[in-house]
Amino acid sequence: DQSNWTLLTDDQIARPVGDKIYRYQYVADLMQQGRYVKLDFTSDSSWTFIDEIKVLKYPQTSAPEDDGNNIAFEKIYTSSPAASSEYPDEENKLTDGWIGTEDSFNGLWVGYEGNKTAEIILDLETTQPFEQIEMNFLQNRQSGIQWPDSVKVETSADKSQWTGLFVDNMDAENADGMA
């Protein structure tokens, strides 16, 4: 009769242990401005893999990708420390527009090894307005690749005074991965 329902279980579904891509998105309440965007991520795992950083003028919707919307596309950046020589950052992989797959060996991922904080500073070349920042992280527990424990993003017009946009302590156990 669709009015009386019987609960069969209220167990939580166990998350698979396999590979996952996590797309982290920050959407601003108000338009932000900056020439530089700084991303810090901290990890206590063996490896942290990142493949693409986007700075979007307008929030991404279900509409097809618009490369004109991504103002970080093909922009230069610095990374400290440098990525591992095993999974190097060659030819600005983090802003080249190529999105990695769940295969950590496909050459699209940049790997940072060990327990550390990595800092990436994007140069947008001019002060520009934006509303959204995206970054992709890979998880492959069997290979020791985990999402970062925390992510911090800041913006600056001059690279000396920074405005914090967000700090997030990520929960890798409960994050929603994207395939």
Q: Is the dihedral of CA 55, 60, 64, 68 positive or negative?
A: negative
Pairing of strands 163-169, 150-156: antiparallel
Write out the DSSP string of 79-107.
EESPPPTTS---S-GGGSSPPP-S-TTSS
Q: List all residues 6 or more positions away from 167 whose beta carbon is below 8 Å from its beta carbon.
A: 150, 151, 152
**Which pLDDT tens digits describe the chain residue by residue (179 residues)?**
555 554 443 444 333 445 688 888 888 888 999 999 999 999 888 899 999 999 999 876 544 555 578 999 999 999 999 999 999 998 899 999 898 888 888 899 999 998 789 999 999 999 999 999 999 999 988 888 988 988 999 999 999 999 999 888 865 554 444 43
Question: Is the whole model's pTM more than 0.85, yes or no?
Answer: no
